[in-house]
């Protein structure tokens, strides 16, 4: 299975529509064009949600298959990750059905959603099937308790320990949500303590998104950036599009790299 990309763009999420920002991509052609623009700025992966005609988030294997094919045509070999996000609508059974039907190369799965009211035998069967199918699962973790839950499931063999990947979400999808680099401390410490071999990334809300992602990089983590979580630049102006958010992060990374280069 492929490791997580260094910079995964999350351009639309499950909740935003064009009413929230005109550059939120909701159709497949829009998502493809957005991904191409973000790749030009330095993104090397896509976390995508597909939408129906009313711009609603759907777990639709046919739409995802179409998007995957279009991305492969425009950006051959580009890392493409689907989501199984429930958004309070889809059951664990429906989330599993999507993965079995599509067999994607990569999928993000919220641990607390997929295990809700599910026995360990069902959960173990699903995650071991994912491993056998070659599905790279990124476990979505919202807090330290999620990290500890993942560690217990790995220790007990319910979730395979090979190729373990995770995303730490700093904050919640809520009006006015603002994440800070300090929010990373507890969950990152727990992950590095319990599951130190995990390939992990961070996403964050609000104008300090880039600062949060740089803090994660300093700890060995990777980045997920984009309108799904934040539409503000570091100077509190509204970003015109997802590519500009990627560009800001790349500038920060390049600036940090130049400051750490030895002086000859």
CATH of the domain at 174: 3.20.20.70
For residue 175, the model assigns a pLDDT of 66
* CB neighbour list of residue 49: distance below 8 Å, 6 or more residues apart: 12, 13, 14, 57, 83, 85, 228
SS3 199: strand
Whether residue 263 is contained in a domain is answered as: no
Is there a domain that residue 262 lies in? Answer: no
Instruction: Determine, yes or no, domain membership for 261.
Output: no
Distance CA 231, CA 252 (A): 17
Give me the pLDDT at residue 177, please: 75
Whole-angstrom CA distances from 78 to 3, 47, 60, 106 are 12, 11, 21, 11
The token duo for 80 is 């493409």
Range of the domain at 81: 7-256
- With a cut of 50, list the residues of the chain below it in pLDDT: 262-264
Q: How many domains does the chain have?
A: 1
* Residue 173 within a domain: yes
**Nearest partner of 1 among 119, 133, 168, judged by Cα:** 133
Q: Is residue 21 part of a domain?
A: yes
**Is residue 183 in some structural domain?**
yes
Q: What is the pTM of this model?
A: 0.95
Q: Could you tell me if residue 2 is inside a domain?
A: no
Q: What is the pLDDT of residue 263?
A: 39
The closest alpha carbon to 132, from 96, 97, 103, belongs to 103
- Residues 4-54 pLDDT 10s: 999 999 999 999 999 999 999 999 999 999 999 999 999 999 999 999 999
Torsions phi, psi of 155, nearest 5?
-60, -35
The answer to whether the beta carbons of residues 65 and 40 sit under 8 Å apart is: no
Asked if the structure places residue 1 within a domain, the reply is no
pLDDT of residue 171: 81
């Amino acid at each position: 299975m492929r490791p997580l990309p260094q910079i995964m763009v999350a351009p639309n999420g499950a909740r935003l529509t064009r009413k929230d920002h005109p550059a939120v991509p909701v159709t497949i052609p829009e998502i493809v064009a957005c991904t191409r623009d973000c790749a030009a700025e330095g993104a090397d992966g896509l976390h995508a949600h597909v939408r129906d005609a009313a711009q609603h988030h759907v777990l639709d294997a046919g739409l995802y298959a179409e998007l995957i094919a279009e991305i492969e045509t425009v950006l051959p070999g580009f890392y493409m990750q689907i989501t199984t996000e429930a958004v309070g609508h889809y059951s664990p059974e429906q989330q599993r059905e999507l993965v079995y039907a599509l067999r994607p190369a990569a999928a993000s799965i919220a641990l607390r959603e997929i295990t809700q009211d599910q026995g360990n035998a069902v959960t173990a069967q699903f995650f071991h099937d994912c491993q056998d199918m070659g599905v790279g699962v990124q476990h979505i973790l919202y807090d330290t308790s999620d990290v500890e839950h993942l560690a217990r499931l790995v220790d007990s063999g319910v979730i395979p320990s090979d190729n373990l990947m995770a995303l730490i979400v700093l904050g919640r999808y809520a009006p006015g949500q603002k994440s800070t680099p300090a929010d990373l401390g507890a969950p990152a410490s727990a992950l590095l303590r319990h599951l130190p071999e995990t390939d992990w990334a961070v996403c964050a809300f609000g104008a300090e998104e880039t600062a949060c992602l740089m803090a994660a990089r300093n700890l060995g983590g990777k980045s997920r950036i984009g309108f799904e979580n934040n539409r503000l630049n570091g100077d509190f102006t509204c970003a015109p599009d997802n590519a500009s958010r990627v560009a800001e992060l790349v500038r920060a990374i390049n600036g940090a790299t130049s400051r750490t280069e030895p002086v000859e």
